[in-house]
Structure formats: structure tokens, C-alpha cells
Amino acid sequence: MFKGIKSLKEFIYGKGLRLNLIEIILEKMVLAPMVATAEKPNSGVLPMESTPFGKTYKEWSEEWWKWILSIPSDRNPLSDDGSGEFCAEGQSGKVWFLAGSWVGTEELKCEVPAGKALFFPIINTECSKIEGYGKTEQDFCSSAKSQMDTITETKVTVDGKELKCYRVESKLFVFKLPSDNVLEEFDYIIPDFRGTRSSPTVSDGYWIMLAPLSKGKHVVCIYDKVEGVMPDGSDFETEMTYNLDVHP
């Protein structure tokens, strides 16, 4: 499924891993310190311990999932053909999300308003009740963690400079779905919960929050790998390129 590219979650649990560079894509920051630290090793990335715009990385990861799952499938950024047509769907506030794709390897375009922090996943997943991952927060956490524990390599670069991402496990939260939603479109919801429009869930994954980029063109590349997980013993790899146009 997904244009012939099978996902990691499909091999682990018989389902598809959300690759949102997002299994994409951005929410968490303290502006002033980052603007002045261009020479630091992870310059431009808001620290894991910071609370950009009043939210932690964990809370931003929850907001990202609420955002992406709330958008109808016919205009969901995860279904973008690479043109960037749906990049702005549901976006608001000081933080702009990058969605990534259901496909493991792709090149995407996105226009981003100047002054927006960017929050996005390198690779991530969520495990919910309506997808059959149990009934309790512990059940969801265990499933999500076991998937992310298989990741052996992650890499993210911005304009050719490699940056460090952070692994983030969310708390229990609830997402809401429109009638035309991506989970049902790709048959992730188990039969007992078909037609259900909300569910408790937990997210786990690797994320990054960037301070606002300068106006102009920027390239964000992400890569991840799981060794030996494919049926033939080969590695599972995803590689995404975001071509961003930051404009006034």
C-alpha cells in the first residue's frame, strides 16, 4: 500500500507507520536564545527542555497529531503529491507544522510564512484504542515505544547542516476525526470502532523544533533506518526532502 512502499509499522504490527518528518513535522521554542547562537552545535533548534510558546515538546507532539488527524483526507497534507497544495491546511499561530508523507521516500514543497517556528517529526507513530492497541495508557505507550525502539539511525539536515533531533514520548491525549479521515481511508481503524470520531492515544517519535528560518529558499532533509526488519532481512529506510520557501 502507499504507492507500493510498505511501512515499518506494517511489518511490526500489520499496520502502517506514520512518517511525518514526519511518519511528518514542528512546535517548541524560545526565540531569543536561538537567534544569537549561530555557532553552537545545534543552533537553530529549540532545546528539548524549553517551552516554546507555552508548550513542551511533548505537548507540541500531541498538537501535531491533533492537527494532522483533524484534516479531511481529500486535503490532508499527508496525501500531498509533492506540490505543497495542502501545506497550509489548518495552520495557525506562531508554529508551523510540517506533515511529511505516508510514503517512505518523497520530495515535498511547502510555502512557509516568515517568522514561524517549524515543528516536525523525523519519524513517529501513535497508538490508539480505535486502532486496536489496547485500552489503557500503558498499552498505548508500550506499543508506541516498541515501534520506536527499533529505529537504529536518524538524521536531519537543514541547508546541508546536520542537526540533532529529540525523542519525545507524549502523555495520553485524545484526537478527533472528521467523517472523511486518513485513518479510515487507509484501514487503520479496527472493525469494532469503525465510524468512531475520537480516541485516546499516545505518541512516540523523533522530533525537531526550529526557530524561524530566514526569508528565501531552504532545504530540510530527513533520514531514518531500521536494520534487518524487512522480510528479506534488508534494512527499512525512509528519506524525505522538504523544499521550503519562506516568504513575507
pLDDT in tens, 130-153: 999 999 999 999 999 999 999 999
**Hey, how many other C-beta atoms are within 10 angstroms of the C-beta on 155?**
16
The pLDDT score that the predictor gives to residue 9 is: 53
Rounded Cα–Cα distance for residues 118 and 210 (Å):
5
Rounded Cα–Cα distance for residues 14 and 220 (Å):
30
Nearest to 158 by CA among 214, 204, 82, 87: 214
| Cβ contact 27:119 at 8 Å | yes
Q: What is the pTM of this model?
A: 0.84
Rounded Cα–Cα distance for residues 248 and 245 (Å):
10
DSSP E strands, 129-215:
153-158, 161-163, 166-169, 173-176, 198-210
The pLDDT score that the predictor gives to residue 103 is: 65
Cell of 114: 516568515
Question: Per residue of the chain (248 residues), what is the pLDDT tens digit?
Answer: 222 334 555 545 444 444 443 333 333 333 333 333 344 668 899 999 999 999 999 999 999 999 999 999 999 998 888 899 999 999 999 999 999 877 667 899 999 999 999 999 999 999 999 999 999 999 999 999 999 999 999 999 999 999 999 999 999 999 999 999 999 998 999 999 999 999 999 999 999 999 999 999 999 999 998 888 778 888 888 899 999 999 98
